[in-house]
Amino acid sequence: MDSYNKNIEYPNFDFEVTHQSSSSGARIGKLTTPHGVIETPNYIFCGTKASIKNLSPTQMEEAQTDIILANTYHLMIQPGADLVQKMGGLHKFMNWKGPMLTDSGGFQVFSMGHGTCADEIKGRNTATKKESLLKITEEGAVFKSYHDGAKLMLNPEVSMELQHKLGADLIMQMDECTAYQVTRDYTAKSMEMSMRWGDRSLDAFDKHHNGTQGLYGIIQGGIYHDLRKVSAEYVADRPYFGTAVGGCLGGSDEEMYSILEAIQPINHPDRPIHFLGIGKIKDIFESVKYGIDTFDCVMPTRIARHGMALIKGAPNERINLVNARFRDDPEPLDASLDIPCSRDYSKAYIHHLLKAKEMLAYQIISQHNVAIINRLMREVREAIKTDTLEALRKEYLPD
């Protein structure tokens, strides 16, 4: 299939590299969308079901958030893309005024949403549940709705139509996200199918295209550098607005970064590069060196629901506020952050809220974690400009 429009343009979108590091591939960019301009590298927070867990758009703004995402898979099941469209699209529906991204829905279909992003994508979750995924063919994926058991189809045309109805600024081609344990042969065939699905996505996208959305192609190919390179060449060749890196990224950090290194020279130099589902602090420091411009991960709000707060310089990036050592700790999470959640509540109070099962705990920790990540991204951008990334990394990750 080769029917896509080779001249798709994105008149209301732009990506400009405003600074290129001399010591690595790290860069500063300006990503323009119909809902505003953001500076990159930046972090896209997960508003899975059209809501950041435990946080309102107002609270996201207080935490200086630039951009969020929602998941097409969850929204197609509840409340349905038609309802969101009828309500004026995702931005109006959730009352989020800034840029937004949606994924294709494919990742959740293939992983069924279990495990953390890092577990899934880095291949650590070898027991991925696939009960509700019924069939993958050239046509698309057939799966059962977790809501009512209805048989549903997701394919490039459906995904583009759903994402069109949802109306986010940045949208994703349909691809298959392969797991760590599959064979090289399966990965190769899947990657080739994802390229064909990419062309079908471009074709379907072009039918709806009215300048309000920018489409990303996704680089697949698992842990195999030669496959990754073929996929990266494909994405760079096609008229996508952006480049995304998806799929299984190996069993170790080294394997993951080696993949980024392999595709770096091939990636289209004028397009923003999004790293799908990756966003631990250490991942950010390494990945920006390979030119990654945006990240997304559920981590900041997910670990909050387990009582864990991101702390600059803490072992493993975080502290667990359920721990009894915080019972009478009068210190706030981070007094240097100018936001009540980080500055105005003692760890002792948050510990108490967790013990008392008060939902306010999750709100405070979630907003703090978002604020910490947004400050991190501001500091990372500054450090790229001043070539002090390694010194900043040591502040966050002293080990």
Return the active site residues: 103, 296
Q: Which of residues 192-231 bind its own copies (CB under 8 A)?
A: none
Does the footprint of its own copies cover residue 356 (CB under 8 A)?
Answer: yes
Cβ contact 372:341 at 8 Å = no
Phi and psi based region of residue 389 (left: phi greater than 0; alpha: psi -120 to 50; beta: remaining): alpha
Rounded to whole angstroms, the maximal C-alpha distance in the chain is 66
- Work out how close the CB of 47 gets to its own copies at its nearest, in angstroms, rounded to a whole number: 9
Cβ contact 146:109 at 8 Å = no
Cβ contact 392:289 at 8 Å = no
Cβ contact 51:90 at 8 Å = no
- Work out how close the CB of 53 gets to its own copies at its nearest, in angstroms, rounded to a whole number: 7
Segment contacting its own copies (CB under 8 A): 117-125, 175-183, 280-288, 347-355?
A: 347-355
- Work out how close the CB of 76 gets to its own copies at its nearest, in angstroms, rounded to a whole number: 12
Measured at the alpha carbon of residue 392, what is the angle toward residues 389 and 393, in degrees to the nearest 5?
85
Of 248, 239, 200, 201, give the one whose Cα is nearest residue 221.
Answer: 248
Among 55, 63, 76, 170, binds its own copies (CB under 8 A): 55
Q: How many CB atoms lie within 10 A of CB 214?
A: 28
Among 353, 370, 371, 389, binds its own copies (CB under 8 A): 353
CA distance 233 to 252: 25
- Work out how close the CB of 365 gets to its own copies at its nearest, in angstroms, rounded to a whole number: 12
Residues in the interface with its own copies (CB under 8 A) total 41
Q: Which of residues 307-346 bind its own copies (CB under 8 A)?
A: 327-328, 330, 340-341, 344-346
- Work out how close the CB of 120 gets to its own copies at its nearest, in angstroms, rounded to a whole number: 21
Per-residue mark of binding to its own copies, 69-108 (x: CB under 8 A):
-----x---xx---x--xxx----xxx-------------
Does the footprint of its own copies cover residue 145 (CB under 8 A)?
Answer: no
Does the footprint of its own copies cover residue 352 (CB under 8 A)?
Answer: yes
Cβ contact 121:277 at 8 Å = yes
Does the footprint of its own copies cover residue 364 (CB under 8 A)?
Answer: yes
Q: What is the bridge-based pairing of β-strands 100-102 and 67-70?
A: parallel
Among 54, 104, 213, 243, binds its own copies (CB under 8 A): 54
Nearer to its own copies by Cβ, of 274 and 351: the residue is 351
Does the footprint of its own copies cover residue 58 (CB under 8 A)?
Answer: yes
Among 53, 122, 238, 368, binds its own copies (CB under 8 A): 53
Nearer to its own copies by Cβ, of 70 and 319: the residue is 70
Does the footprint of its own copies cover residue 359 (CB under 8 A)?
Answer: yes
- Work out how close the CB of 58 gets to its own copies at its nearest, in angstroms, rounded to a whole number: 5
Q: Which stretches of the chain bind its own copies, using CB under 8 A?
A: 49-58, 74, 78-79, 83, 86-88, 93-95, 327-328, 330, 340-341, 344-346, 348-349, 351-353, 355-356, 358-360, 362-364
